[in-house]
Amino acid sequence: MFSPLIIGTMRLGTWDAKLPTAQWQDFIETCLELQMTTFDHADIYGDYTTEADFGKVLKQAPHLRDQLQIITKCGICRVCEQRPKYRIKSYDLSKEHILWSVENSLRELQTEYIDMLLLHRPDYLMQPDEIAEAFTQLLASGKVKSFGVSNFTPAQFQLLNEAFPLATNQVEISIAHRHAFGDGTLDQCMRHGIRPQAWSPLGGGAVFAENDMSARIKTVAQPMMEKHHASLDQLLLAWLLRHPSGILPVLGTTKIERVKTAVKALEMTLDRVEWYDLWQAATGEKIA
């Protein structure tokens, strides 16, 4: 259903690149030419403006909608000029808020349906049965095709999954942020036959910074890069893709050339020793 690499939109709008509509369309169309058809949103991106930026493209080029998939998220109440009623940052996964958020996202995105809705952060006051009611209503209406969560612990995922079947857990996963490999998140996804999504799959640039971990990884990666004719970012994406859970990396780049580079990682397969060699470099400790 989704492309093997997901295109993140967080930094394409006012939070970074500030792309005008024509450049947004060029970016989207080039991604589609690369067969990267899935775009990851959240209502809060760009302080509640990025969905509308994307929607301007779909309004003037509606034929693109059938060629792509839209993921969006809700549940974070972010204090900003666009939401003057919010007094503090908080989380709201009430049925009322979920339904309201979806209607707003549909309007902003200029679409009649969302391919996947994610709950952006766990709400400590959430009631699984109430969330399930919202999901059931949205599914029946055709406004949302599938549902998942983001940044949920395995226990929180299971609590909600027992009330309504979930399709993913989007969490931070990279060679620099490895918690999902050992905290049960990826094991749980495999158990339920769903594919996890990885935000910040290159560690938010941590691997490319000047630090001890980065130095160790680069040293170990160098001969692999030569062997596979790959750049470091391609190698580290291939490292994620090697995991049997079928991780779907969410790319955060604003540069289409970086997307083109990332796509080449799909052609690489690291062997088991290479994978553990990189793991050991990241941890700085020998495999026990």
Active-site amino acid positions: 45
The first and second tokens of residue 141, run together, are 């209406």
For residue 249, the one-letter residue type is P
CA distance 227 to 242: 17
Residue 288 neighbours by CB distance under 10 Å = 3
CA distance 197 to 206: 19
Total residue count of the chain as it appears in this document: 288
Radius of gyration for the alpha carbons in the chain, expressed in angstroms and rounded: 19
Write the CA distances from 286 to 17, 53, 270, 281, integer angstroms.
41, 47, 19, 8
210 burial type by CB count under 10 A (0-12 exposed, 13-18 middle, 19+ buried): exposed
The first and second tokens of residue 187, run together, are 């094991």
